[in-house]
Amino acid sequence: MSDTLLSLRGLTKVYPAVIANSDISFDIGAGEIHALLGENGAGKSTLVKTIYGLHRPDAGTMTLNGQPYAPSEPRAARAAGVAMVFQHFSLFDALDVAENIALGMENPPPMRQLAQRIRDVSNAYGLPLDPARILGDLSAGERQRVEIIRCLLQDPRLLIMDEPTSVLTPQEVEILFQTLRKLRDEGTSILYISHKLEEIRALCERATILRLGKVVGACDPREASARELAELMVGTALKPPTRAAGAGAAQGEVALEIRNLSAASPRAFGTALSEVNLVLHKGEVLGIGGVAGNGQDELLLALSGEMRTAPGSVLLAGEDVAQLPPNERRARGLLAAPEERLGHAAVPDMTLIENAFLTGAVREGLERHGFVDWRRTRGFAEKVIATFDVRTPGPDRIARSLSGGNLQKFVIGREILQDPVVLVVNQPTWGVDAAAAAAIRQALLDLAAKGAAVIVVSQDLDELMEIADRFAALNAGRLSGSVPVEGLTIGRIGLMLGGAHDMEVARAEAG
Amino acid sequence: MGGIDPILLLASLMVASTPILLAALGELVVERAGVLNLGVEGMMITGAVCGFAATVLTGSPWLGFVAAALAGGVMALIFGVLTQYLLSNQVATGLALTLFGLGLSALIGQSYAGITIDRPPSLNLPLLRDIPWLGPIVFRHDVILYLSLAMVVAIWWFLTRSRGGLILRAVGENHDAAHALGYPVIAIRMAAITFGGAMAGTGGAYISIMRLRQWTEGMTSGAGWIALAIVVFASWRSGRVLLGAYLFGGVTVLQLNLQGAGFRIPAVLLSASPYLITIIVLVLMSLSRNARNATPGNLGATFHASN
Amino acid sequence: MAMIRLERRADPSNFWRYGAPLVAVLATIIAGGIMFALLGKNPVEAIRTIFWTPFTGRNAAYYLSQLPIKAAPLVLIATGLALGFRAGIWNIGAEGQYVIGALSGAAVALALYPMEGRWLFIICIAASLAGGMLWAMIPAVLKVRLGVSEILVSLMLVYVAENILASLAVGAMKNPEGYGFPGSRNLSQYPAVANLDIWSGTGIHWGVIAALLSVLAGQILLSRHILGFQIQVAGLAPRAARFAGVAPGRLVMVCMAASGALAGAAGWFELAGPSGIVSVDFNVGYGFTAIIVAFLGRLHPVGILLAGVLLAVTYVGGDVARSSLGLPAGSIQSFQGMLLFFLLALDVLTAYRIRIGRKARA
């Protein structure tokens, strides 16, 4: 084994009311790919931000290459040879690739030289980039390349990667791994943060596992089983969701149909939907997979009614609803829960009662002659809270004060309790703790078992494999044909996510 | 001849445009940093009165301009502290700045009403001044006017060619990303806000010291608001700010001349024309897709680095 | 190293939500005192002259009757503005809508002069509502159809309205029996349309009643009506509003129309009563001061009522201080601007708490 590059001793970071990191100690070797494994909220992000100088620890020390290391800001970290690829990109949509890269460097060369170096380095690592393109026009995978090249141009000794594969197709993941292995062979250390066990087993030589802010174990992930890692990470054995026998097997009547739906994105730098077709039956869970930014948001907007589309493109139980506004669709039983909890699915600074009224007004009869019936609305909010085990002191609390998992339970529960005919959810368990995620998945399955049709849009393929009956892939605004989940391999999914030309492949598979 | 001399008209166009140009250039930098300061009018009028007062007290118009820039900068700092450190709403705070500035200037200016100062000397560039036509139009102005033109180039260079400008644009585009890369978002914005205030103050003083050479209450009469509109018109580019400012200066001068010359256009239409044309220009700009995409991504958004 | 940081509260502080305006008023009085001291006036004397003397001294009855006269337009305009501000719609051109509303009412009144009948007053009110509303619809339509900033357009239209006022006052609306002096007939002396005190000498004219009604209606709208709910959602989370089925364009139209109409009516009540004459200096900035009133009242109708009375006090007190102490007119305006600064500064405490010094261990 190689020498130690970075060693952490007793790092502690306290936020009001929560200890994000508590007495964290471990070493990262030179030329090692070191995994930092943990659930959402385990303290991974806090720890890497400390290493990158974004905040200072309340206690503990770091040593880099034998020297004390206490970066006061990211610039100091970069100067010491520490680079980071962010989970939520630190990129600028309106600037071009070269400008984006220059912003992440300490002493960038003049723009023309920089552009040449970007071309050289990106080709050398198999991640080709055009320095003149405007960032907003790039795909998620290309945007990540920009981040990586930005780091590589500074010859880092330690490269931190925070959940890098959440935006990549399986094929892109493979390319990324090749790049990372090449870097390791050149002597760069990599701190690889993830909650995806298989990736870590495929890539990393050592793993440190965090739970609730503490180190709970270390191992060689190539030797440990996924199950062992999972139990270390989660703490308790999780109950996988259960399905009623024969659910999804029998096809009910058609609940929702999308016909040749094409629509421009309402957002700058959004993705247009292009000839989307799908048929959804009662009692069925359709999983729609795809890398972020391939039209997921737009599809949800087109179904929720926030975006109107051509007449005849969205049919609910045979009725054309494509031109109807959100509340008319709700009245007919088409409900939705968007990805962004704070600010889209819920109003952060309003109480849970007000947030219950937000989407519940029509179907729950909370509105009388244009006036809000606050008594009934409170009742509805309390029912959501009780039924879905939302942990909060009461319905008078504002949405922002809830944890991610609890708010998500409230948002999904609010729609489920309205007894939808069709429910569309986008990223239902993103950033949610494991217990809440399991509860949400179970609730979606129960809803389908009662005869509702459910569309789950998610970037988490494992989640889709777990709860969906059929699977379709969204790529650059195009939706593949749907295939049964049973017997579907990751390789095949990868092909489906790869592009529209695979639709035929998928269809053949289905037939 | 309707009594309008085209050479004089063009020369006075440049003079009439300069206050708006200065203020709009300042606001351009502020907005590129992602901050919307609606207090331009308030900073201009404060600059106008402070500059005028300092000129009367010291006898030096140049010290007057320094005082105006300082006054505008201090006003902007109030806005900066409120919006950047105390996270107040930028629209409301900018309005408060304008209301406060109008009141404060009336207060300070009370004892300066009715005083007239001499016209500060022009540069009268030798040789160039004698070029027929061009000389009287372009080369017989004061140093502040040339400074404003130099600022157009300097700000263009800073924003598009310098590293500092790149960082400033990055902060305005996406403050969270800039923060994650370690750039001091608030410090950069404070600097931009203060610069914007100094420019607005100077612009205001140009009205009181150079153009009218006296102080009257509310004398900026909406120039600050027009400067804000010009930044939109210019799609946040400094060269087009120059174009926009001179366009409006032209309208102002022309309508004054037309009124003076007694043309048969209703006076109300003429005196309202700068404001009406501002609206028309805003409408025309909204029809262009490019302009909308040029808006800095985080314009007007509050930044608070949690964790 | 000592440091000051802001930390978001889990739930907004009710103490600061209601306490901030009071602290802001106190801070403004102190800062205003310093400002007066710098101007060479005795600060205690100045503050007392503004806030105390008018309402306790010999002419208290007269000054008290001035309070509703000054407060009514402020409250009427601010209630309308608050609806838009809550929804993130920035109509800052109420001053222009106020002028156009007044002129619309005056146009009807002067056209029908000297017709008799109290119903004319109602017609004039309707005309002023329509005039203010239409003037506000210009920025509203441009905003909805073309995405043009309503801030800049509504403000530009203030200057246009002032130009129209100036030209009418010396032109079409000039009093034919006025011996060439600028200004219209005195409408407060035209019984059919005059807006006089309902109880003589109290200052309570029909505009005051309208202001109280608007507060009541605004209160019901915001707390119980679905439109009020939509307004609040749109301001707090625009995406959530669209998700909940709020049509943003319609909301812009409704809010602009309501604020424009109320500002227009305020203009007419002022013109037909306290002011009387269409003249160049008819508008005195109520449309701008109402912005301060709206924020000081927390964009909340009942709060606006209280804030309107407070600002009316500063107007009346300011007038007294001007005549008895020689305080310049601008001092009251800067006083009001300062009040808004302090309020905005203290607002942060509602959502955040301030931490000083090194972080405490949990």
A330/C contact by beta carbon, under 8 A = yes
Q: How far is A92 from chain B (nearest CA, A)?
A: 6
Domain A254-341+420-510: give its CATH superfamily. P-loop containing nucleotide triphosphate hydrolases (3.40.50.300)
CATH number, domain of C281, equals 1.10.3470
End-to-end Cα separation, chain A, in angstroms: 51
| Phi-psi group of B184: left, alpha or beta (phi > 0 → left; psi -120 to 50 → alpha; rest → beta) | beta
Strand A470-475 to strand A285-289: parallel, antiparallel, or no bridges (unpaired)? parallel
Q: Among partner residues A359, A374, A398, which is closest to C244 by beta-carbon distance?
A: A359
Instruction: Tell me which range, A210-219, A331-340, C314-323, is most confidently predicted by mean pLDDT.
Output: A331-340
Strand A422-426 to strand A478-479: parallel, antiparallel, or no bridges (unpaired)? unpaired
Confidence band of B136 (pLDDT split at 50, 70, 90): confident
pTM of the full predicted structure? Answer: 0.88
Predicted pLDDT of residue C2: 47
Q: What is the pLDDT of residues B227-281, one digit of tens each?
A: 999 998 898 999 999 999 998 888 888 888 887 777 777 878 888 888 999 899 8
Q: Which residue of A has its CA nearest to B171?
A: A92
Q: Would the pLDDT of B97 be above 90?
A: yes
Q: What is the pLDDT of residues A383-427, one digit of tens each?
A: 999 999 998 889 999 998 888 889 999 999 999 999 999 999 999
CATH number, domain of B156, equals 1.10.3470.10
Question: SS3 of B16, please?
Answer: helix
Q: Among partner residues A18, A325, A372, which is closest to C245 by beta-carbon distance?
A: A325
What's the whole-number average pLDDT of chain A? 87
Q: How far is C198 from chain B (nearest CA, A)?
A: 34
Q: What angle do CA C304, C306, C309 make, to 5 degrees?
A: 105
Domain membership flag for residue B46: yes
Q: What is the ipTM of this complex?
A: 0.88
**Structure tokens given for A442:** 């179970």
Predicted pLDDT of residue B201: 98
Nearest-10 crossing angle of helices A434-449, A404-416: 10
End-to-end Cα separation, chain B, in angstroms: 70
Q: Would the pLDDT of A266 be above 90?
A: no
Confidence band of A504 (pLDDT split at 50, 70, 90): very low
- Domains held by chain C: number: 1
Averaged pLDDT, B51-66: 96
Peptide bond into C114 cis (omega under 30): yes
- Domains held by chain B: number: 1
Q: Among partner residues B181, B293, B297, which is closest to A103 by beta-carbon distance?
A: B181
Averaged pLDDT, A13-42: 84
**Structure tokens given for C190:** 């035209």
Predicted pLDDT of residue A386: 95
Q: Among partner residues A15, A371, A401, which is closest to C11 by beta-carbon distance?
A: A401
Q: How far is C338 from chain B (nearest CA, A)?
A: 6
Domain membership flag for residue B168: yes
**Cα B193 from Cα B37, distance rounded (Å):** 8
CATH code of A4-234, in short, is 3.40.50.300
Predicted pLDDT of residue A17: 57
Averaged pLDDT, A121-141: 87
Residue C82 parent element (H or E) = helix C60-86
Domain membership flag for residue B299: no
* Yes or no, beta carbons of B107 and C163 under 8 Å apart: no
**Cα C104 from Cα C261, distance rounded (Å):** 11
Q: What percent of chain B has pLDDT over 90?
A: 61
Can you give A164-210 as a three-state secondary structure string? HHHHCCHHHHHHHHHHHHHHHHCCCEEEEEECCHHHHHHHCCEEEEE
Q: Which residue of A has its CA nearest to B290?
A: A268
Residue the block writes with tokens 């999804």: A248
Residue the block writes with tokens 């100045």: C46
Domain membership flag for residue C351: no
Q: Would the pLDDT of C360 be above 60?
A: no
Predicted pLDDT of residue A510: 41
Least confident of B13-17, C6-10, C19-23, C238-242: C6-10
Q: Are C128 and C264 in contact (CB under 8 A)?
A: yes
| Phi-psi group of A65: left, alpha or beta (phi > 0 → left; psi -120 to 50 → alpha; rest → beta) | left
Q: Would the pLDDT of C244 be above 90?
A: yes
Least confident of A157-166, A306-315, B64-73, C81-90: A157-166
Q: What is the pLDDT of residues C5-40, one digit of tens each?
A: 788 887 788 888 888 888 999 999 999 889 888 878
Predicted pLDDT of residue A321: 96
Predicted pLDDT of residue B306: 57
Contacts of C11 in chain A (CB under 8 A): 397-398, 401
Predicted pLDDT of residue A16: 62
Q: Would the pLDDT of B195 be above 60?
A: yes
Nearest Cα to C354, choosing from C16, C14, C127? C16
* Yes or no, beta carbons of B217 and C330 under 8 Å apart: yes
Predicted pLDDT of residue B292: 58
* Yes or no, beta carbons of B78 and C341 under 8 Å apart: yes
* Yes or no, beta carbons of A349 and C12 under 8 Å apart: yes
B101/C contact by beta carbon, under 8 A = yes
Confidence band of C274 (pLDDT split at 50, 70, 90): very high
Q: Would the pLDDT of C43 be above 80?
A: yes
Pick the more confident residue, A270 or A273. A273
Neighbouring subunits of B (3+ Cβ pairs under 8 A): A, C
Q: What does A227-272 look like in DSSP terms, one character per residue? A: HHHHHHHHSSPPPPP---TTTTTS---EEEEEEEEEE--SSTT---
Q: What is the pLDDT of residues B110-126, one digit of tens each?
A: 889 889 998 888 877 77
Q: What does C214-267 look like in DSSP terms, one character per residue? A: HHHHHHHHHHHBHHHHHHHHHHH-HHHHHHTT--HHHHHHHHHHHHHHHHHHHH
What count of CB pairs under 8 Å joins B to C?
140
Least confident of A73-87, A301-315, B147-161, B194-208: A73-87
Q: Whats the size of chain A, residue-wise?
A: 511
* Yes or no, beta carbons of C362 and A14 under 8 Å apart: yes
Predicted pLDDT of residue A184: 92
Q: Would the pLDDT of A316 be above 50?
A: yes
Which ranges in chain A are annotated with CATH 3.40.50.300?
4-234, 254-341+420-510
Averaged pLDDT, A277-300: 90
**Cα A434 from Cα A439, distance rounded (Å):** 9
**Cα B98 from Cα C189, distance rounded (Å):** 37
Predicted pLDDT of residue C357: 58
Q: How far is B135 from chain A (nearest CA, A)?
A: 40
Q: Would the pLDDT of C98 be above 90?
A: yes
Q: Among partner residues C155, C334, C344, which is closest to B92 by beta-carbon distance?
A: C344
Residue range(s) defining the domain that contains residue B220: 6-116+123-293
Q: What is the pLDDT of residues A205-263, one digit of tens each?
A: 999 988 888 898 888 888 887 777 777 776 655 455 666 555 445 567 999 999 999 99
Q: Would the pLDDT of A503 be above 50?
A: no
Q: What is the pLDDT of residues A457-494, one digit of tens each?
A: 998 777 888 899 999 998 888 999 888 988 777 667 76
Predicted pLDDT of residue B138: 80
